[in-house]
Structure 1
Amino acid sequence: MIPLTSDITRVTFQQKPVLISQEGQQRYAVFGIPLSTPLGTVQLDTNKTPIQIEVKSYPYAEQRIKVTNQDYVNPNQSQLDRYAQEAKEQNNVYSSFTQSSWRALPAFIRPTSGKFSNSFGRKRFFNGEERAPHSGLDIPAPVGQKVVAPADGVVIQTGSYFFNGQTVLIDHGQGLISMFCHLSAIKVEKGQHIRQGEVLGLVGKTGRVTGPHLHWGMSLNNARVDPQLFLGKTH
């Protein structure tokens, strides 16, 4: 969160609008920086003076996973084509920016009960082969356990995806998107308004998984960010 002076009314990052939250009289720019961003300096552009942000290294842990279904390690061309189309569809969702009904960034709740087992940003190796870092949080839970909306929003997309399995995406406003993957059932429809705590689906083991769990991801201005940063202090 970057504090803003009262004369700043517009903020963008890489030509995309940035979420602005207000707490009392103070306004903040809240934005995500992709894990792939090189170390150095990035810039927030405003209607006044640009704001320089330093990107530093972070010692993310490693995770080595054994996957028995080779299709999820080395997909064939047809599966790669399917994944490319699905990635394009999801990227369109992550790139969207809608107005919010809130002024202060809401406190999120956990979408399902259970301990976090796989932290954000971990470097992952599937059967010894390096793949993209983990872009969310995993919560192991039994198949059929309820998954709820962590904050108010609109269901912007649902689908059954190659890697992510049955998935729900919720738009919370101002480029902040939640993603819930590997569900056994989806209980909402695209375009539906959903309130914090309402059921959106059930925990499952669809897609690329080693066991039943919920993968909870969040995207801010089309950069994957750690969901724990948005949880209220009691969660």
Structure 2
Amino acid sequence: MLRRIALAAAAGLFGLQATAFELPRHRSVPGGVAVIDLGASAEPPQVTLDAVPVLVVGDPARWTAVVGIALGAQPGTRHVAVRRTGAPEVRLPLVIESVRYAEQRLRVAPGKVDLSAEDLARYERERAHLVEVAATHSEAIPDTLRLRQPTAGERSSSFGLRRFFNGQPRSPHSGMDIAAATGAPVVAAAAGRVIDTGDYFFNGNTVWLDHGSGLLTMYCHLDAIAVKPGDLVAAGERIGEVGATGRVTGPHLHFSVSLNRAMVDPALFLDEISESATTR
């Protein structure tokens, strides 16, 4: 079960209404999420990991840091920096445990692995742009850290999987694949703002949503996109349709969650029992 805390900051101080706030499951491994108790203070502490802002939720009685851990992080002890008004900086330990992800070997069209000079140039342009998109950090607090499954279908357990395309190793799989037919509706996993859409060489038709404070979601290989940058969407609102664009072996949705610029396991934010996506 997702953990709950009370988000009950006084409206006069923080402009927030009291509500139940659900935390993702704690799994302090590469590609996981660490939930760190920050204790009490009148104002929310400012927390960073390697100078990148970290999501903080809670109320003056108890603040909690929710830290995304990059897939490439090495096991061991890191530290988050915690700053409070009128107090010296404190460094809290973040212990990252080791994990072993599976491997998979796939055969795809050679042109999707051994890129032509033209395709390589396109990929490099897109990569630079997507780095900027992934660095988005708005000040809003997410409505929830419990996400909806964005399309109905069986979830894969492929996050972190090391893939070999035609025998060549590639970066670990940084999302969840959900089996669905072309044209199936894809909905927003939570309320947010559309920050990017486009047709990318590897990811195909893609939508990025900003949910606030460094929490982003990405939806790839879409057959159709129903939103544009700047749109505000509600949780469960239709943003596109499942497809097979980009580098894929068949129609499905690739769903990613980014937290403080780290791609983390979406399963930690979803109910353990699959829910059907809803549409508007």
In which range does the TM-score fall when normalised by the shorter chain?
A: over 0.9
- Aligned partners of 1:133 and 1:97: how far apart in 2? 24
Does residue 59 (structure 1) correspond to residue 100 (structure 2)? The answer is yes
- Aligned partners of 1:118 and 1:207: how far apart in 2? 21
Counting only pairs closer than 5 Å after superposition, residues 28-47 of structure 1 correspond to structure 2 as: 28-47=64-83
Larger radius of gyration: 2
Q: TM-score, normalised by structure 2?
A: 0.79
- Aligned partners of 2:247 and 2:58: how far apart in 1? 39
Q: Does the residue aligned with 2:267 lie in a helix, a strand or coil? A: helix
| Distance verdict in 2 for CA 1:232–1:27, change over 3 Å | farther
Q: Is the 8 A contact 1:94 1:220 kept in 2?
A: no
**What code does the residue aligned with 1:72 have?**
K
Does residue 90 (structure 1) correspond to residue 130 (structure 2)? The answer is yes
Selected match of 2:46 from 5, 10, 15: 10
- Aligned partners of 2:117 and 2:49: how far apart in 1? 35
Gaps in structure 1 of 5+ consecutive residues:
none
Selected match of 2:153 from 99, 114, 123: 114
Gaps in structure 2 of 5+ consecutive residues:
1-34, 84-88, 275-280
Alpha-carbon offset, residue 211 of structure 1: 0.4
Alpha-carbon offset, residue 63 of structure 1: 1.1
Structure 1 window deviating more from structure 2 (21-30 vs 1-10): it is 21-30
- Aligned partners of 1:26 and 1:5: how far apart in 2? 5
Alpha-carbon offset, residue 234 of structure 1: 5.3
Q: Does the residue aligned with 1:211 lie in a helix, a strand or coil? A: coil
Structure 1 window deviating more from structure 2 (33-42 vs 205-214): it is 33-42
Alpha-carbon offset, residue 39 of structure 1: 2.2
Counting only pairs closer than 5 Å after superposition, residues 174-185 of structure 1 correspond to structure 2 as: 174-185=213-224
| Distance verdict in 2 for CA 1:76–1:200, change over 3 Å | same
- Aligned partners of 2:181 and 2:144: how far apart in 1? 31
Does residue 137 (structure 1) correspond to residue 176 (structure 2)? The answer is yes
Alpha-carbon offset, residue 26 of structure 1: 2.7
**What code does the residue aligned with 1:194 have?**
V
- Aligned partners of 2:238 and 2:162: how far apart in 1? 31
What does residue 113 of structure 2 align with? 73
Q: Does the residue aligned with 1:93 lie in a helix, a strand or coil? A: helix
| Percent of aligned positions that are identical | 44
Alpha-carbon offset, residue 43 of structure 1: 1.1
Alpha-carbon offset, residue 51 of structure 1: 0.8
What does residue 22 of structure 1 align with? 58
Q: Deviations over 1:28-64 (max 9, x none)?
A: 1111111111222211011132011122210111111
What does residue 207 of structure 2 align with? 168
- Aligned partners of 2:212 and 2:141: how far apart in 1? 8
- Aligned partners of 1:227 and 1:44: how far apart in 2? 22
